[in-house]
Amino acid sequence: MPGSSVDREWTLDELAEAYAYPDREGPWLRANMVSTLDGAAQHDGRSQAISGAADMRIFGALRGLADAVVVGAETVRQEGYRPARAREAFAARRAAAGQPPAPAVVVLSASLELDFTLPLFTAPLTPTLLVTGAAAPADRVEAARKAGAEVVLAGEGAGAEPARVVAELAERGFARLLTEGGPRLLGQFVAAGVLDELCLTVSPMLTAGEAQRIAVGPGAAVPERFALASVLEEAGFLFTRYRRS
């Protein structure tokens, strides 16, 4: 539905068609972020305040299509992440694609300073993965494994290396990847040149203040151009989709 704009609510079936992953070999890393008109990715440290009902439906649709949802540890702590749930509307699609009922949540963390008693680790429908570096604290790695999380080493230092994260997940059968940030994690993927697609919701709000942009941290050596793939509109929100040129 490139360039579509109608005064009605998009159905989940329409969203699933509009946001289908490309039919290609290898992993595809998609990001889903929201920004206000003045570039804020958060308000009072959370994205919920600048989101809306339509944005949350697309949030659910993107999760319903993904093999794995990749997030940073700080986002897990700030947003109170819970396990991804199975969505009846996507059950047939997921079964036909050989996917489990719900995507795995993949948490990137150098320190592994996370509460492993949370449902994200103790009661996921699909086991949670923790991605870190080879130099991560051994006691925290052991605690994560005892909690039931699979620990993936994707770097020689304390933290994971973005390109290796994508490769390690693809080796485990997670090819349709979705990252929901936060801004620091997205910045790492952008700087490493491994982001294939950005789904950016433009929220019709102004916040001023000093909130983060959707991507922060070390910049790319050269700005990379993305091509507009589609635009949807609902309730004043613009749902844009850009792909690597």
Is 41 inside a domain boundary?
yes
SS3 at position 167: helix
Contacts of 56 (CB under 8 A, 6+ apart): none
In a domain, 50, yes or no: yes
Which amino acid belongs to residue 101?
P
**Is residue 114 in a domain?**
yes
Let me know if residue 11 belongs to a domain: no
Chain segment 33-86, per-residue pLDDT in tens: 999 999 999 888 778 888 989 899 999 999 999 999 999 999 898 888 889 999
CATH code of the domain containing 120: 3.40.430.10
Q: How far apart are CA 212 and CA 207, in angstroms?
A: 11
| pLDDT for 4 beyond 70 | no
Assign 63 to helix, strand or coil: helix
Q: Which residues lie below 8 Å from residue 21, measured CB to CB, with a gap of 6+?
A: 28, 30, 65, 176
Q: Does residue 154 belong to any structural domain of this protein?
A: yes
Count: domains in the chain: 1
| In-domain check, residue 16 | no
Q: Which domain holds residue 157?
A: 26-218
Please indicate, yes or no, if residue 94 is contained in any of the structural domains.
yes
Whether 194 maps to a domain, the answer reads yes
pLDDT digits (tens, 9 = 90+) for 109-168: 999 999 999 999 988 999 999 999 999 999 999 999 998 889 999 988 878 899 999 999
